[in-house]
Chains A and B, each alone.
Chain A
Amino acid sequence: MSEIRLIVNGVEHVLDVPESRTLAEVLRYDLKLTGTKIGCNEAECGICTVHVDGTPVNSCIYPVFRAEGRRITTIEGLANGSLHPLQREFIAHSAVQCGFCTPGLIMTAAALLEENPDPDEHDIKVALKDTYCRCTGYTSVINAIRSAASVKRGEEPLPPNEPEVSEPLKHISVSEPVQDIEDRVTGRAKYTDDYVFDGMLFGRTLRARYPHARILRIDTSRAKALPGVRAVLTADDVPGENVHGLVYLDWDVLCKDKVRYMGDAVAIVAADTQEIADQAVELIEVDYEPLPVVADPVYARTPDAPLVHEGREAGNLLKHIKVRHGDIDKGFAEADVIIERTYHTPTTEHAFLEPECAIGVPAGYDSEHDKLTVYVGSQIPYQDRNQIARAMGVPDEAVRVKGVLIGGGFGGKEDIAGQIHVAMLANATGKPVKMLYSRSESLLFHPKRHATVIRIKTGAKRDGTLTAVEAELYGDGGAYASLSDKVMTRATTHATGPYHVPNAKIDCYAMYTNNPPSGAFRGFGVTQSAFAVEQNMDLVAEALGIDPVEFRLKNAQRVGVATATGQVLRESVGLIESIEKVNADMRAGDFKWSWRDGGYAYGWGIACAYKNTGLGGGAPDRSDAEVEAFEDGTVEVRTSSADMGQGLIAVLAQIAAEELGLPYKKVRVLLSDTDKTPNGGPTTASRQTFMSGNAVRYAAGSLRALLSKVAAEELDTPPDRLRFEEGLIRENGHSIGFDQVVRLAKGQGLATKILHEYYGPKTQPLGTGGDMHFAFSYATQAALVSVELSTGVVRVHRIISATDIGRAINPLLVQGQIEGGIVMAMGNCLSESYIVEEGVPWTRYLARYKMPSIKHTPEIKSYLVEHRSSDGPYGAKGVGEIPSINTSPAICNAIYNAVGVRVYSIPVDQDALYRAMQRGDREVFTAWHDVK
C-alpha cells in the first residue's frame, strides 16, 4: 500500500492503495464512484473513459500511480448543479438503452466538445470510434451529441428524430422517457458489480483445461490452505441436484466426472479479496484424461463421433425438428426454376458490455435478507430462482432473486452464469459473495448464437409463384442444450421466409458438440435461416428474370394464407406495406440496382423477415403483473419481467397511465424481484410488450373498474359515465382526485392492488397445425453498400427499413430497437465471428471479436408499419428481434448486385471477396476463419 493524491471531480483525495491498482479500480472500489464502468480491461471497448487533466483515457488500463496529483473527471463530476447538455440530450434523443456504456460515450463526447464546439458527423465518428455501444446502433448517439453541441454553443437543441405513428393516444404511441433514465446518464444507475455488502467475499471459478476430458482427480487442499480463502467447493459440495438447464436439465453446476467444453466449471472459490480468489483457483489441481473432441455439428451426427453426453439414446442429436407441409414432390414438379445452395453462418457472441456478475447473500445476513438472496442482472428471474433452489436442495420460496439493472442481454443473460455458484459460496461461508466474470471468462463461458450449415432448395413457376421449399439445417448446439431446441425450432419453422409456400419439407438437426453452448441470441435462429432464404429468393428472381421486389410482393404472406406450419394468418400481416414503403424510398429519384463510381462498386439489396411474438408452439405463455394505487395518487406496477435497455419500464408505465388516466410520472415500475414482483415470464421471444403489457393493461383495467365504483358513488353517477383524465375522475363538470378515490376505497376496506394473470392466446405444437404463434412481426430492409474494387472492403451506406410492429407504444424506443438491431446485424454480416478451434476458443479477448463501432453506422431510415394485432395491448406485437433478421441477407444481396459475387458464408470476407472478383468467380464460400 502506498499513498497517492488525486483530484477527482474537483475534490482532493489522499488514498493508501496498492500500487498495482488501475485508475478504474480506484475510482470504482476505493472511491465508490461506480459510474465508471469496466467492460473489457483491455482498452478495447472504451466505456471506462474518464478525463485525466482533460484528456480522455481508458481508465481500465491506466495505472493509478501515473495519475499522481492529476485532475480526474468522471461521469459523476460532469453535471455541474444541473445536467450537462450531453446528459440532457442523450435522454431527449433516446440515446440511452441499457446505460452501461453511456458514461463512457458521454465522457468521450464531452472531451470532443471541449475541443470542437461544432463537430460534424465525421468528427463524432473519429472521436467515438473506440467507445462501444451494443444497444443503440449509434444513430441516436450522433444526434444527441450534435444537439448537445448546439446547446453548448447557446443555440437550440435539435429535435429528436421521431418516427411517424398513427392514432396516438394520451400516453400510447408517445415517446415517454424511461423513469430512471437520469440515473443512467449521471452514473448513479447501479448494476450488479456496483453493489457492495459489508464483509463481502469475492468468488472465482476454475474452468476446464480441455474441451472434452474425463476428470480423474481434483485436489483443492493447496487452495484451501491459502490464507484468505474462505471456501473451495466442487461437485461433491452441491447441496441439491448438480444440474441446471432452461429446457433440458443437462448442465452440471460443477463438473464431477467429465468436462464438455472449455467454459465448464470445475471448482469455485470464495476469498477475502479478488486477488486471493484468483490465486487460489490457480492452486487447485485437476488431473484429466483428454477425450476426442466433437468440433462441428455435421461430424457430430456421424456414427464415429464420440458422445458429448454418454447414455443418451439419440447420441449427439439434441433434437431433430421437422416441418412437413403440402406435397414436396408435387411442389418441385410444378417448378420451372429450382435453386439449391448451401449457406454457412458462424458462432457469434452477444458482447453485452456488462460482463456477468452475481452476488449471493446468505439467509439471515440482515433484516433485508431473511432468505438466501441472489442479486443478478437476469432476463429470467423466476427460472433463475428455480434453478438455484434445485441445486441448493431447497424449495423455490426459500430463495429470492433480486434483479438489478442489466448492462445488455440480447438473449445472452437467460442461462445460469454465476447465480448458483454465489448461492453455494454464500451458504458455505455465511457471507455475501460476489462473482464478477472477466471479459475473457464471459467470452469463454456463456451460450452463443448457433453456427449453422443450411442447405436450401427453392422452386418457383415461371410467373414467379413459389411452389416449394426444401431445407436441411445443422445447428451447433455446443456442449449443453440451453435453448437449442427452441432456437433451432424457430430457425426451422421460419425457413420458408415470410412467404406463401404451399409445399415445404424442412429438417433441422440441433447437435451436441464440445464447443461453447449455443442459446438465445436476438433473432433466435431466424437470423440464420433468413440469411439462406433471402439470398435464395434473389437467386430465384434472377433466374426467372423478375425484379426481386416484385417477386417478394407476389409471394408475400398476407391475411388468409397459411404458413408452412399450417397456421392460417387472420390479421396483422403488414409485410406488403413494409415492402412497398421500403421500395418507394429506395426507388425515389434516379434508382439503379448497381453502378460504379471512382473505384467503388455500389449496389442495393433487399430482404424481408418475419418473427413470432411470444413463446408459441403450445407452450403456455403467461405473464403476471400487479398494479397498486396509493393514497398519494401514485401507482406502482410490478412484474418480474426484465428491462435490459429495451425500455420495458416505460412501456408498462405508459400502459398503466393510459388505463388509469394518470400523469405518466405518477406511475412507478418495479421489476425483477421474485419476492416483490409476480412472474412476468422470460424476457425473450420479443414477448414482453405483448405479454407483460397485456397483464398490466388488464390489471390496471380492473383497478379502474374498482375505483370507478367508489368514485361513482361519491359523484352520484353511473360508473360507465366516468372519465379518468390527468389524475382526476370526471363526470360532466364534477370531478374527484384519483388520490381521493384511492383513500375512499381504502377507507371502505377495499384493496387497491390488483394482480392479473395474463395468458397469451393458445398456441399449437409444431406438427399439429393451427396457430403455432399468436402474432408475427414483419420487416423489409434495403441496404446500399459499396465494395472498394482495389481492396474488397465492404461499406454499408444506407439502410431503409419498414417494420410492422402492430403499434409503437413508445416510438423512440421502438426506433432504438430497430436502429440497434440493424447495426448489431451488420456485425453479424460483416465482422463478427466467434472462432473455436477443435473446441478451444480463439476469441478469448474482445480485441479478437470485432463488432460494429460508431464509424460503421450507416444512414438509417426506419418506417413503422402498424397493422394492429387484436390481442396485443393497443394492437402492439414484438419488436426486439425482427430488426436483426434481414440485414445480413440484404447486405449480401447488395454485394451481389454491386460486384456479381454471391456470398455464401458470413462474416463477409473482404480477402476472399477481392480474390473472387479478381478471378471472376461468382461465388464465395470461404469465411475468413476457413483461411488456413
Chain B
Amino acid sequence: MKLWEKYHLARTADEALALLSNYSGEAQIVAGGTDLLIDLQQPEKAHQRPKALIDVTCAADMNTIQLEDGIFTVGAAVTHAAVVKSALLERYATCLVESCGVVGGPQVRNVGTLGGNVAHALPAGDGTTSLVALDAQALVGWGDGRREWLPITALFKGAGVSALDSHRDLLIAFRFNACKAGEGCAFKRIMRPQGVALPILGCAVWIALESDNETIRDARICLAPVSQTPTRAADTEAALRGQPANAETIERAVAVAHKTLHPRTSKYRATGEYRREMIGTLLRGALPRAFERAATGQAKAEGVGA
C-alpha cells in the first residue's frame, strides 16, 4: 500500500515550512511516525493520504535540549529516548522524563518525538500531560510565515484535534522553566492491561514550596484524560496553595479533585467511576514525590521503561 509518494528530509525547521508551503497543503509533517504511519494505513483514512511527507527528525534546530538562564528549550523533534537520557531534564524537569519513559517500548521511544506526542493532541498524551504541568510554551511556525510562542494548552482544540494543521504548520520547540530550589515535579499513570494501548489516567504535578520547605507556595496539576483536551486541575491546585505539604493536604486536594473533575467512561478503556477513584490514587502517589523533590532538591526519575 502506497501511503505517500514523495519523502523529504528537512534539515531545518525553515526548510520544512518551505516544503510544506511548496506543496500547498498536499504534504504533511512526519516526525517519528509511530502514530502517523499507522493512521495512514487505515482504510477509512485512504483519501487523506498526503502526496508527500516532510520528515523533521533530522532538522538540526529541532533536535536540541538546552538549559539557559533557568529555561529549558526542547526541540519538537527530540525523541522520547533522548528526553529520558537527559540528565538535566531528569534533575530539573523530572516529570517529563517520567512521562516520556513510559511511552511504548524502547523501539518506539527511539523514534517517537515529544513534538509528535503534542501534535497528536490526544487528551492523555504522556509527554503532553507533563508539559502542561510544567506550564510549557510551544514555538509554532505558521504556514503564513509567522513564528510565535503560545501556551501549550492553546494547541488543543478537541480530542485529537490540534490548532496546528500538520499540512501547513510546524511545531518547532517547547520551553519551560527548570525546577528551581524548592520546586519539584512528578508523573504517574495507570495503564489498563487489556485492550487499546492508551493510559486510563495520567497525572503530572509541579510543586513550589515556600522557603520554609513545608508550605506549598504554588502547584500545577494536569490529570488526563478528564476532558477532551489536556487541562489543568485549577480547583485542586488551589486546594494545595498555602497549605502544608503533608498527607492531610493531599486528602483535601483529592476530595476537591473528586468533586470538581468528572472523567468520562471510555469504552474499552475505563469506567468514569474507576477513573475518578484513580485520580485519588495518582495524586496520593505523585504529590509526595513532588514534595520530596522540592524539599530535597534531589530527583531521580522513577518507573522509566515500566
Tell me if B7 is interfacial: C-beta within 8 Å of chain A: yes
Once A65-B9, A847-B196, A850-B193 are accepted as A-B contacts, the answer to whether A42 and B38 lie under 8 Å apart by CB is yes
- Give, as a whole number of angstroms, the nearest-CB distance from B223 to chain A: 15
Q: Across the interface, do B194 and A909 meet the contact criterion of CB distance under 8 Å?
A: yes
> Which chain A residue shows the least CB distance to B198?
A847
- Give, as a whole number of angstroms, the nearest-CB distance from B51 to chain A: 11
Q: Across the interface, do B197 and A46 meet the contact criterion of CB distance under 8 Å?
A: no
Tell me if B55 is interfacial: C-beta within 8 Å of chain A: yes
Q: Across the interface, do B305 and A911 meet the contact criterion of CB distance under 8 Å?
A: no
Segment among B176-184, B243-251, B266-274, B291-299 that sits at the interface with chain A: B266-274
Q: Across the interface, do B190 and A791 meet the contact criterion of CB distance under 8 Å?
A: yes
Tell me if B24 is interfacial: C-beta within 8 Å of chain A: no
- Give, as a whole number of angstroms, the nearest-CB distance from A474 to chain B: 23
Tell me if B105 is interfacial: C-beta within 8 Å of chain A: yes
Q: Across the interface, do B192 and A66 meet the contact criterion of CB distance under 8 Å?
A: no
Task: Give the chain B neighbours of A68 by CB distance below 8 A.
Answer: 9
Once A56-B106, A915-B274, A932-B267 are accepted as A-B contacts, the answer to whether A19 and B7 lie under 8 Å apart by CB is yes
Within B75-108, the residues touching A (CB, 8 Å) are 81, 104-108
**Which residues does B use to contact A, with CB under 8 Å?**
1-7, 9, 30, 33-34, 37-38, 41, 46, 53, 55, 57-58, 81, 104-108, 110-111, 190, 192-197, 200, 265, 267-268, 270-271, 273-274, 277-278, 281, 284-285, 304-306
Tell me if A484 is interfacial: C-beta within 8 Å of chain B: no
New contact pairs (8) apart from A43-B37, A55-B81, A831-B193, CB-CB < 8 Å: A43-B38, A56-B106, A58-B111, A61-B38, A62-B111, A108-B107, A130-B107, A928-B195
Q: Across the interface, do A850 and B194 meet the contact criterion of CB distance under 8 Å?
A: yes
Once A19-B5, A842-B268, A911-B270 are accepted as A-B contacts, the answer to whether A833 and B106 lie under 8 Å apart by CB is no
Partner of A130, one of B104, B284, B285: B104
Once A907-B194, A915-B273 are accepted as A-B contacts, the answer to whether A20 and B9 lie under 8 Å apart by CB is no
> Which chain A residue shows the least CB distance to B105?
A130
Q: In the complex, what distance in Å separates the CA atom of A43 from the CA atom of B110?
A: 12
Once A791-B281, A928-B268 are accepted as A-B contacts, the answer to whether A61 and B106 lie under 8 Å apart by CB is no
Q: Across the interface, do B196 and A848 meet the contact criterion of CB distance under 8 Å?
A: yes
Q: Per-residue CB proximity of A52-76 to B under 8 Å, as 1/0? A: 0001111001110110100000000
> Which chain B residue shows the least CB distance to A20?
B2
Q: Across the interface, do A61 and B274 meet the contact criterion of CB distance under 8 Å?
A: no
> Which chain A residue shows the least CB distance to B3?
A20
Q: Which of B5, B46, B105, B271 has the most CB of A within 10 A?
A: B105
Once A791-B190, A835-B268, A931-B268 are accepted as A-B contacts, the answer to whether A57 and B107 lie under 8 Å apart by CB is yes
Tell me if A18 is interfacial: C-beta within 8 Å of chain B: yes
Q: In the complex, what distance in Å separates the CA atom of A56 from the CA atom of B110?
A: 7
Query: Interface residue count for A (Cβ, 8 Å)?
Result: 59
- Give, as a whole number of angstroms, the nearest-CB distance from A895 to chain B: 14
> Which chain B residue shows the least CB distance to A275?
B2
Q: Per-residue CB proximity of A748-791 to B under 8 Å, as 1/0? A: 00000000000000000000000000000000000000000011
A sample of 9 inter-chain contacts (CB < 8 A) reads A43-B104, A43-B108, A46-B107, A63-B7, A129-B105, A275-B2, A835-B268, A911-B192, A931-B268
Q: Across the interface, do B1 and A275 meet the contact criterion of CB distance under 8 Å?
A: yes
> Which chain B residue shows the least CB distance to A273?
B2
Q: Across the interface, do B33 and A62 meet the contact criterion of CB distance under 8 Å?
A: yes
The 6 closest A-B pairs by CB, nearest first: A130-B105, A126-B305, A65-B7, A19-B7, A911-B274, A61-B37
> Which chain B residue shows the least CB distance to A911?
B274
Q: Across the interface, do A63 and B55 meet the contact criterion of CB distance under 8 Å?
A: yes
Q: Across the interface, do B192 and A43 meet the contact criterion of CB distance under 8 Å?
A: no
Q: In the complex, what distance in Å separates the CA atom of A909 from the CA atom of B271?
A: 11
Q: Which of A42, A68, A842, A911 has the most CB of B within 10 A?
A: A911
Task: Give the chain A neighbours of B196 by CB distance below 8 A.
Answer: 847-848
Q: In the complex, what distance in Å separates the CA atom of A850 from the CA atom of B41?
A: 20
Q: Across the interface, do B34 and A19 meet the contact criterion of CB distance under 8 Å?
A: no
Partner of B107, one of A43, A792, A833, A909: A43
Tell me if A274 is interfacial: C-beta within 8 Å of chain B: yes
Q: Which of A833, A845, A928 has the most CB of B within 10 A?
A: A928
